[in-house]
Structure 1
Amino acid sequence: MSNPTSKPSSPSSSRSRPVLIVSAVAAAAVLLGVVSYTATKPSSPGAAGSSSVADVSADPSAGVYPHLEAYARRDAADKLALGRADAPVVLVEYADFKCGYCGKFARDTEPVLVRKYVENGTLRIEWRNFPIFGEESEAVARASWAAGQQGRFWEFHKAAYAEGAKEKGFGKDRLAALAQEAGVPDAARFAKDTESRAAREAVRKDQEQGYELGATSTPSFLVNGRPIAGAQPLETFTEAIEAAAKAAPGKAGR
């Protein structure tokens, strides 16, 4: 789980949120904000994360803050989401393309979740750009949004999280190369969209949502209102997804 060097002040818009949601966010922050890097880093070089910090009960209601389910947008037009808008379970991921643990989750865990749950209609994955490592993080976040405007977000996501990709940096030329690798059809539009006000606003909106939740490091997740901090083992996510699906009987795999 990677930590930023600094955190911007909380967005003023959060002050207007209903008291119940603010209370739920405060509770979630215990998991998303207070959990330290030491507690969530992999216990061994080959591990995805420490299961001891994010143990998930099979009880569908354990560790769930119902009001946090509202953070799932369920927008059928969302170009940075994967799966049915009406899926019974939504996994919201707050991540940075420069985060090594985010890359490990993207390569090792997410594809399994897609095959096992997204493809049968149980799960929807909604991406939130949460850049915390400076200018290059911001730039690649905008670029991923720009790729999404041409229907190639997940292809860009795969290219940017490929083994060794972040070590090459995310300068302007590198972003163009990643877009080409992702099959983005219009390079000129991609370049323009990456630097657009719309891209900056979309990234800012995602980032502010993450900070509202108390997330100060990446990756951080919500599974139907259940916070999970760090790139935990596959079993943590499967247990959370199956518990959430169990709480929504008759909806999975529609």
Structure 2
Amino acid sequence: MMTSRLSLLALAALLLAPAAVAAELSKDDVKKVLDANPSLVLDVLRQNKKEFFEVVKQAAQEEQLNQRKEQQEAQARELDERIKNPLKPEITKKTRVRGSFKAKYTLVEYSDFECPFCGPKAPNGNMGGYKIAETLREKYGKDLRFVFKNKPLPFHAKAMPAAQWLEAATLQSHEKAWALHDKLFENQDKLGDAFYEEAAKAVGLNVEKLKKDLDSQAVKDSIAADVKEAEALGFEGTPGFLINGVPVRGAYPPEHFDMLIQKIDEAAKKN
């Protein structure tokens, strides 16, 4: 008991000593006391719970702010870099495209039909990827072309079958495939074999031929190429976008794309 009291007094002296005295105490002095009596720290924390948790809370908030700042700085650096050296997705004459191949802006989306952030409305109430793309298409009209690429995530059981139906539909008609694309996203809660067949019939596809093509090598290769490209360009989750080669990782609102397009235009004027 006497030793414990002496140790407490020693710790108090270390913590509360005037600056002139504290300056004479070395780290070794403090360490020796704490090594001999590790419970002293717990005693101090128990007696100052409120102050301790305030310190922890403040440290956590500061860390969050630092991480957010670092993320914003990294995004700004990537934006500058990608405006100068845009990423280049594969787009050929065979690519399923909405809009003119000569359009000023190219919006590419890597998406998953089951992803809750990829449909019309995200769980947080904001626009999902599908609605974002449609909003931009409506706003920019003939100046924007849109390319959809599959990135079915492995933990979404309905995503791969939906992607297969889309790619099988594309073998028949790009126009009808786009109509099926819309129905799949607008009815995410109905995804399943029965709905795929119903939707395919509704847009005028040959369902029997489509069923035969679902497991074709052409369909498998198309989806695999999309996934490989998305991963090579650094897209892990969905949705992911490219606007003239500048990446957008997530369901950012249309205003974010407006900002990027403005920066892209400004950079083009300088060159």
Which letter does structure 1 place at the counterpart of 2:87?
Answer: E
**Structure 1 counterpart of 2:238, which letter?**
T
Q: Give the drift of 1:194.
A: 1.8
The 2-side partners of 1:110 and 1:212 are apart by: 22
**Are residue 64 (structure 1) and residue 82 (structure 2) matched?**
yes
Q: Is 1:129 the counterpart of 2:150 in the alignment?
A: yes
Structure 1 residues 83, 76: CA separation in 2 closer, same or farther (over 3 Å shift)? farther
- The one of 247, 250, 257 aligned to 1:230: 250
C-alpha distance in structure 2 between counterparts of 1:55 and 1:114, whole Å: 28
Deviation of residue 115 (structure 1)?
1.7
1:240 maps to 260
Tell me the CA shift for residue 174 of structure 1: 2.1
Q: 2-side partners of 1:242 and 1:224: how far apart?
A: 12
Corresponding residue SS for 1:69: coil
For residues 183 and 136 of structure 2, what CA distance do their matches in structure 1 show?
Answer: 18
Q: C-alpha deviations, 1:52-72, integer Å up to 9, x for none?
A: 969988xxx73525544322x
Residue 147 of structure 1 pairs with residue 179 of structure 2: no
What is aligned with 1:92?
A: 108
Q: 1:177 to 1:64 in 2, by over 3 A?
A: same
Gaps of 5+ in 1: 1-38, 40-51, 250-254
Counterpart pick for 1:116 among 105, 114, 139: 139
Q: How far, CA to CA, are the matches of 2:115 and 2:84 in structure 1?
A: 29
Secondary structure in structure 2 of the residue aligned to 1:74:
coil
Change (3 A) 1:234 1:63: farther
CA distance in 2, matches of 1:74, 1:161: 23
Paired residue secondary structure (2:230)? helix
Q: Which of 1 and 2 has higher RCO (CA within 8 Å, sep 6+)? A: 1
Preserved CA contact (<8 Å) 1:74 1:86 = no
State the number of aligned residues. 189
CA distance in 1: counterparts of 2:161 and 2:263, whole angstroms: 36
Q: Partner of 1:74 in structure 2?
A: 91
1:156 aligns with 2:180: yes
- 8 Å contact kept, 2:169–2:205: no
Rounded Cα–Cα distance in structure 2 between residues aligned with 1:91 and 1:54 = 24
Q: Structure 2: any 5+ residue segments left out of the alignment?
A: 1-63, 65-70, 121-127
- Measured after TM superposition, the shift of residue 167 of structure 1 is 2.1
* Identity, % of aligned positions: 26
AA paired with 1:159?
A: K
- What is aligned with 1:180? 201
8 Å CA contact 2:83–2:264 kept in 1: the answer is no
Equivalent residue number for residue 169 of structure 1:
191
- TM normalised by structure 1 equals 0.65
| Cα distance in 1, alignment partners of residues 265 and 83 from structure 2 | 15
Structure 1, residues 131-184: CA drift from partner, whole Å, max 9, x if none?
00344211111111122222212211110111xx222232x2221112123x13
- How well do the aligned residues superpose, as a CA RMSD in angstroms? 2.8
Seen in structure 2, the aligned counterparts of structure 1 residues 179 and 169 have a Cα distance that, compared at 3 Å, is same
Counterpart code for 2:119 = G
Task: Supply the AA of the counterpart residue of 1:241.
Answer: I
- Give 2:139's aligned amino acid: K
Q: Mark the CA change 1:116 to 1:138 in structure 2 (over 3 Å): closer, same or farther.
A: same
